[in-house]
Amino acid sequence: PELERNGGKVCLVIATDGCNYNVENVGLEVKEAERQHELIQALKSLEGLPVVVVIRLCTNYRPVVDFYNDLDQHLEGLALDVLDDHKAEAEEVYEHNPWLNYALILHRMREMGQESRLFDIIDERPLAKEEIRQFCSMLFGIDFHGDVNDNSEWEEFIQEINHLQELEKMQWNPKSKTMAPWIDTKQLASLDD
């Protein structure tokens, strides 16, 4: 109760290869569906509590990755982020948001439970302009004002990003394998409404 009253949360980080055996089941023939159901039930018990769950996958085995990526469909009331390794997550981010340099520090923030709705969706779909503004506010620690859906204000926003990036260190970009700024403003400028 005190944690909730103070607005605090607990971050539960689970690193797994996908084999969620419990001690009583070791050596027994337990069907994978039963193990998966058991995991879902355990996570459901956390719904409604001030908990953020991060699942760090330590496997590339497609059936396991697919199971964990679909977990949020079963867990509506739980803040959950399922993460692959940095390289794989970067590929997913670039598929939807190629304007962002998904530098290692962003991945580490997600792995450590930095809670943001934008972190949850950045590797799932393109961010809308307003969400990009919110993400950049979080990234640079500055509130950007104005209506980014207005073309002239979008251009001003991009100019402000360019200015801020001059003050920032370059970050390793896992896609281009070079040092690069956080935001590719040319990509931003080319976004359609």
> Does the pLDDT at position 133 exceed 90?
yes
The three-class DSSP label of residue 13 is: strand
- The confidence score (pLDDT) of residue 136 equals 95
- Tokens representing 36 are 């998966």
pLDDT of residue 61: 84
Question: Model confidence over 102-113: pLDDT tens digits?
Answer: 999 999 999 998
Residue 56's nearest CA partner among 116, 8, 11 is 11
pLDDT digits (tens, 9 = 90+) for 23-82: 555 565 667 788 888 889 999 999 988 999 999 998 888 888 888 888 878 888 888 889
pTM: predicted TM-score of the whole model, two decimal places: 0.82
Taking the CB of residue 153, how many other CB atoms lie within 10 A of it?
16
> How far is the CA of 185 from the CAs of 27, 98, 162, in angstroms?
55, 10, 7
The Cα 141–Cα 170 span in angstroms is: 17
Q: Which residues have C-beta within 8 Å of that of residue 46, sequence separation ≥ 6?
A: 12, 53, 78
pLDDT-above-70 percentage for the chain: 92
Tokens standing for residue 39? 């995991």
Question: Average pLDDT for residues 157-167, to the nearest whole number?
Answer: 95
Rounded Cα–Cα distance for residues 13 and 80 (Å): 10
Structure confidence at residue 151 (pLDDT): 84
